[in-house]
Amino acid sequence: MSQGNSFGKVAVLCGGHSAEREVSLRSGQTVLAALQQQGIDAHAFDPAEQPLTALLSEQFARAFVVLHGRGGEDGTIQGALQYLGIPYTGSGVLGCALAMDKVRTKQVWQAAGLPVAPSAVITRDKAVDWLGLIDELGGKVMVKPAQEGSSIGMSPANSAEELEQAVALAHRYDNEALVESWLSGPEYTVSILGDQALPAIRVQSTHEFYDYDAKYQAGDTQYHCPAGLCELEERALEQLAVTAFRALGGRGWGRIDVMCDKDGNFKLLEANMVPGMTTKSLVPMAAKAVGLSFEQLVLRILEQNEV
């Protein structure tokens, strides 16, 4: 395995301008420390504090992207790095752009015949029969902004009044709100590294759903790996995740989130092309389950560059 100076000078891109800036900074510091511990000439680089052209003037050879949310996970930074000729980790422009947009992600998965929950898309200027919509989707729904991560702007609703309020909240973050039928089964996440799925993790939260607080602040969220599935179910979930990742053009590494409906059927939720890499994050947890340390994980990700 390649080490140290063979990578050249590495920029760990973190921070940025998105609503997930603070999480990204934490991911960046953790990744930076792991790279430096292995003798790699790595430096934090925050695009909110210096121009991207500094990557060239400071002679960075490649970039490790841990910019979460808009600007970092939506293909924007990937396109800029390609234009500058700097190799970078993770998926390319198209894969990131599709995965960041939950509406387009679902459309791609539906076209590929993959399982997703029934849903509707509400734009800001659209007249809506709130009672009719919530009845059509089963009486309880989850509402999400089309292009935010970390559960920002998400809320459940089980009445016409709550639905209208939830959509208004989502519209603070995006012109499109995705309204999905409520999924009552267990929640799983499957990390992808290269062409392989890592072991699934079952997420168990005391909150009504796995929200921002449950992800980053609550001390009672439980993560089960092994996930408690039989071997046949585990293999089926891993294959579903890999297929979903590839359908979006995913490369290098990422994470696919899945829930079960009341009948136990897997339903794809969303894709994360630049998942969290904090001490509480799920990709490092899954890697650990197959014997990969955090240091080994970041090295594996760094070796898979996109130019």
Quick check: helix, strand or coil at residue 198? coil
- Predicted local distance difference test score (pLDDT) of residue 304: 82
**Token match 């607080």: residue?**
213
Last residue of a domain, one of 162, 181, 200: 181
- Predicted local distance difference test score (pLDDT) of residue 5: 67
- Report the alpha-carbon distance of residue 102 to residue 119 in Å, rounded: 11
pLDDT per position as a tens digit, 135-184: 999 999 999 998 865 567 899 999 999 999 999 999 998 899 999 999 99
Last residue of a domain, one of 141, 163, 181: 181
Question: Per-residue b/e over 165-184, b at no fewer than 16 CB within 10 Å?
Answer: ebbebbbebbebbbbbbbbe
305 marked as part of a ligand binding site:
no
Does 213 score more than 60 pLDDT?
A: no
Among the listed residues 18, 20, 73, 148, the single catalytic one is 20
**What tokens does 298 get?**
């970041």
Select from 172, 252, 270, 156 the least CA-distant residue to 207: 156
CB 236 within 8 A of CB 247: no
Residue 273 DSSP label:
S
Domain that residue 203 falls in: 98-114+184-306
- Predicted local distance difference test score (pLDDT) of residue 2: 44
CB 15 within 8 A of CB 47: yes
265 marked as part of a ligand binding site:
no
Q: Which residues contact 301 (CB under 8 A, 6 or more apart)?
A: 64, 89, 90, 193, 252, 253
Domain count for the chain: 3
Cα–Cα distances in Å, from 195 out to 241, 243, 285? 11, 10, 18
- Predicted local distance difference test score (pLDDT) of residue 205: 75
pLDDT per position as a tens digit, 20-71: 899 899 999 999 999 999 999 999 999 999 999 999 999 999 999 999 988 9
**Token match 């293999």: residue?**
235
- Report the alpha-carbon distance of residue 287 to residue 293 in Å, rounded: 7
Does 216 score more than 70 pLDDT?
A: no
Quick check: helix, strand or coil at residue 187? strand
- Predicted local distance difference test score (pLDDT) of residue 18: 87
Catalytic status, residue 20:
yes
270 marked as part of a ligand binding site:
yes
Among the listed residues 24, 27, 150, 181, the single catalytic one is 150
Does one domain contain both 255 and 197?
yes
Catalytic status, residue 281:
yes
Among the listed residues 18, 181, 281, 306, the single catalytic one is 281
Q: What is the CATH number of the domain that holds 151?
A: 3.30.1490.20
pLDDT per position as a tens digit, 98-143: 999 999 999 999 999 999 999 999 999 889 999 999 999 999 999 9
